[in-house]
Structure 1
Amino acid sequence: MPSRIVRIAATTVAGLALLTACSSGGGAAQPSTPESPSSAPSNASGPKVPAPLPTDALMNDPCSVLTADGATQVGLALPGTKDTNDLAGCSWRSSGNSVNSVGITVVPQNTSGISDIYAQKDAQAYFTPVSIDGYPGVFSAKTDLRPSGNCQLWVGVTDQLAVAATALISVGPNKNDPCSIAQKFANAMITQLKAQA
């Protein structure tokens, strides 16, 4: 197994441990690095994207995928904070309560896009396909943290690239349904990427 994939897996485990520790305490937590099935070969066929979306912004300036209108629709404050880990990503705080946040992580190591997520379906604690403005998505993670306000949504933006949107809702009414916030965010992101096409 290449050392980069091992590092990604280790980062994911460390991020989940941190997320679990932060969500049970009183401090503000950042969305963790998503659980990525990047170490497994893709042997499942997930749905194809209707048209590839531009990925330059996702890879080089991931915070630019949320416009002011999109932030208002989701209830997030601008600007986002670019992640400093090995993977491209950005996180945004809630405009109503800065403890809550949404983040994205781009995982180019999954070269089969959403199909890599489908390949790991049996290893997931939850797996619910969804359409995001016509693009394939799936709520999926190896550990089910939805009862504590954390939901992970993967969205295929090309057939070779999937993006994870993670909602971390620690307080407020959306804590009981963090997946709806992840889906609102993903819709805003897809709208912005379509505008860049």
Structure 2
Amino acid sequence: MTRALMLVAAVCIGLTSAACSNDEDGIPVGGDNIDSTPSSTPGNGADDGVPQNAPKVSNPIPNLEKYLQKPCDAIPKEQARQLGLSTATPNPDHDNGPTCEFADEQGNRVTINFNNKQPLGIAGVYRNHEQIPQFYEYFEPTEVAGFPGVFADSIDGRADGLCNLAVGITENQVLTVTVSIRQATGESDSCKFAKKAAETAATTMSRG
């Protein structure tokens, strides 16, 4: 499968299941290259039907609004250089939420997206996994600088340098980090890079 198709498949991981479903057969489908977790819409049951294993965000990011207005500020220039990234392209008006794409001269890319279609936050990602587990090729919980995260995607492109990481930065806000590495040397490389970028963003935003 081509890199472009795998990036397309990464769109639905942060969205509601309704937003990523085909109306005729209910099968989740991709949309663009930002993120790929189907989103969740609040329900009427206890705790909106959120699974008991869904993690809580114990120390939510303060003053999040300024990063929604300037998403590239989540990874300042000096920190981006330390990650080997030389350019930052903001898109605060992206349909799926404020976005910034960082890149280097070799074409390696890190895209961060403040997802606006997952109202239940990281708990909604867990609910999606409980409701439609067959959508995910991988779903691996992790921790990012003290915040709950999960590596998850509908297509496993890790061996080809692709990785998708969703991080709960408030109870209602998911930060999605999508990585594309042209010179991947193994399955874990892209996800290690995604986690490092996510840790940088989370640490920066935690400082206010």
- Cα 1:6/1:136, change in 2 over 3 Å: closer
Letter in 2 for 1:90: C
Asked whether 1:93 is paired with 2:91, we answer no
**Contact 1:153/1:165 (8 A) holds in 2:** yes
Render the CA deviation track for 1:167-197: whole Å, top value 9, x for unaligned. Answer: 111225478610011001001001110111x
Q: Distance in 2 between matches of 1:48 and 1:171?
A: 35
Q: What CA deviation, in whole Å up to 9, does each residue of 1:108-155 have, x standing for no partner?
A: 221111011111222311011111111101101111111221100000
Q: Unpaired runs of 5+ in structure 1?
A: 16-31
Residue deviations 1:23-56 (CA, integer Å, cap 9, x gap): xxxxxxxxx2101311565632421112110321
Normalised to the residue count of structure 2, the TM-score between the two structures is 0.74
The answer to whether the 8 Å contact 2:148/2:167 transfers is yes
Q: Quickly say closer, same or farther: Cα 1:174–1:116, change in 2 above 3 A.
A: same
Give the equivalent residue in structure 2 for 1:20: none
Partner of 2:70: 61
Question: Which sits farther off after the overlay, 172-181 or 44-53?
Answer: 172-181
Tell me the C-alpha RMSD between the 2 structures. 2.5
Letter in 1 for 2:30: V
Contact 2:114 2:175 in 1 (8 A): yes
Q: How does 1:18-37 map to 2 (within 5 A)?
A: 32-37=33-38
Please tell me whether the aligned partners of residues 73 and 184 of structure 1 are also in contact (alpha carbons under 8 angstroms).
Answer: no
Distance verdict in 2 for CA 1:62–1:75, change over 3 Å: same
The residue type equivalent to 1:103 in the other structure is T
Aligned residue type for 1:118: Y
1:160 counterpart residue number: 172
Q: Which residue in 2 is equivalent to 1:187?
A: 199
Match of residue 43 from structure 1: 50
| The one of 87, 106, 128 aligned to 2:114 | 106
Q: Distance in 2 between matches of 1:34 and 1:143?
A: 12
Contact kept in structure 2, 1:127 and 1:138, CA below 8 Å: yes
Instruction: Give distance in 2, aligned partners of 1:173 and 1:68.
Output: 26
Does the CA-based 8 Å contact 2:35-2:176 persist in structure 1?
A: yes
Q: Output the CA distance in 2 between the equivalents of 1:172 and 1:142.
A: 19
Partner of 2:181: 169
Unpaired runs of at least 5, structure 2: 1-14, 22-28, 43-48
Contact 2:37–2:152 under 8 Å retained in 1: no
Deviations 1:5-36 (A, max 9, x none): 799638x7242xxxxxxxxxxxxxxxx21013
Indicate the larger mover: 82-91 or 33-42: 33-42
CA contact (8 A) 1:114 1:155 kept: yes
The alignment covers a number of residue pairs equal to 173
Greater helix fraction, Structure 1 or Structure 2: 1
**1:38 partner letter:** S
Work out whether residues 57 and 65 of structure 1, in 8 Å CA contact, stay in contact via their aligned partners in 2: no
